[in-house]
Amino acid sequence: MKRGMKKEWVWLIVISFCIVLTIPWSVLRWQKERISTDDVEIRVMMPDGGVVKLPLEEYLLGVVAAEMPAEFGEEALKAQAVAARTYAAKRLIQGNLPDGGYDVDTTVQTQAWLSDKQMRDKWGWLNYWKYKSKLSKAVIGTRSMVLVADGDYIEAVYHSSSGRKPTERSEDVWSSSRPYLQNVSSEEDDLQRYVKSYSFSTQELYKKLGITYTPHSLTSGDFQVLVRTSVGRAKSVKVLGKVYPATQLRTLLGLSSTDIEWVVQPDRLTITTYGNGHAVGMSQWGANDMAKKNFKVDEILSHYYPGAKFMALGFK
């Protein structure tokens, strides 16, 4: 009995010794990895055409400030920070960018971004300190967190509001499918948040579409939705005899979304849109409504990017 107890004590001492050695090594390794990711810089093309290198986390603060209302809940802001970081990480490893001199610009062509001065101008001096501190907390609170699928950073796209319909599948809006960009509920409480009406005279419609021949009176056949997405938004639209992808028509006419209703009159086309944005990926207003219901950042992102996994940022 004594010999057996002695062996157990020996094993306990050995295990304890291993734990004492392992914990400091793990902490040092974690700190080393954290320092290395903090050193990552991103090249940002400014509005004047100049390119500035910024620490990634500093850059993300400007993105969150530009892309999401600072009044939103903390967990929604964290979700925005993770999505923006994932988008930036994917840009950093891409070798086929149109201009090798920079990784991102400051517009919605990549991700919108605000400088300190622009934040002060947007919020005013009093709110500047409050909001900047709030957004910094969201960025720091998700430091190095990104989303991956199949061993690669996901296309972490997002939009303002899905409106009255679920989010879109990527293949219904763009050319390729992504398993994590599927139809999911918007989670928005106010389905009528973004409803906007656009009215075009016959002359205005011709001009916006680049049609040069003399306008004629409009008929019901001059505007038709030919194909719809799986949730009912316009995918292909025929206007004045020409077929347009709905995304292209949205750009040409300056529409808020492709969820549309329309009225054709002889001298005028009126279009009503619901929602704001391309409707793929995370709905920012939906994320905020989820945050109000005490959903955490991982739950919000798992909803909008089903199947994507969380991991620490790392570059080879």
User: Could you give the angle at which helices 284-292 and 297-304 cross, rounded to 10 degrees?
Assistant: 140
pLDDT score for 181? 98
Instruction: Please list the pLDDT of the chain residue by residue as tens digits (316 residues).
Output: 444 444 555 454 444 444 433 333 333 233 333 434 567 899 999 999 999 999 999 999 999 999 999 999 999 999 999 999 999 999 998 754 555 689 999 998 899 999 999 999 999 999 999 999 999 999 999 999 999 999 999 999 999 999 999 999 999 999 899 999 999 999 999 999 999 999 999 999 999 999 999 999 999 999 999 999 999 999 999 999 999 999 999 999 999 999 999 999 999 999 999 999 999 999 999 999 999 999 999 999 999 999 999 999 874 4
pLDDT score for 10? 47
Whether 257 contacts 41, CB under 8 Å: no
Q: Which residues contact 288 (CB under 8 A, 6 or more apart)?
A: 69, 72, 73, 76
Rounded to the nearest angstrom, the gap between the alpha carbon of residue 119 and the centroid of all alpha carbons in its chain is 20
Domain definitions of the chain by residue range: 41-188+280-312, 195-274
pLDDT score for 188? 98
Q: Which of 246, 245, 253 lies closest to 211, judged by CA? A: 253
Residue with tokens 């810089």: 41
Q: Which of 56, 29, 19, 61 lies closest to 40, judged by CA? A: 56
Distance CA 94, CA 155 (A): 12
pLDDT score for 255? 98
Distance CA 44, CA 92 (A): 11
* pTM for this predicted structure: 0.84
pLDDT score for 22? 39
Q: Taking the alpha carbons of 61, 67, 69, 74 in that order, is the dihedral positive or negative?
A: negative
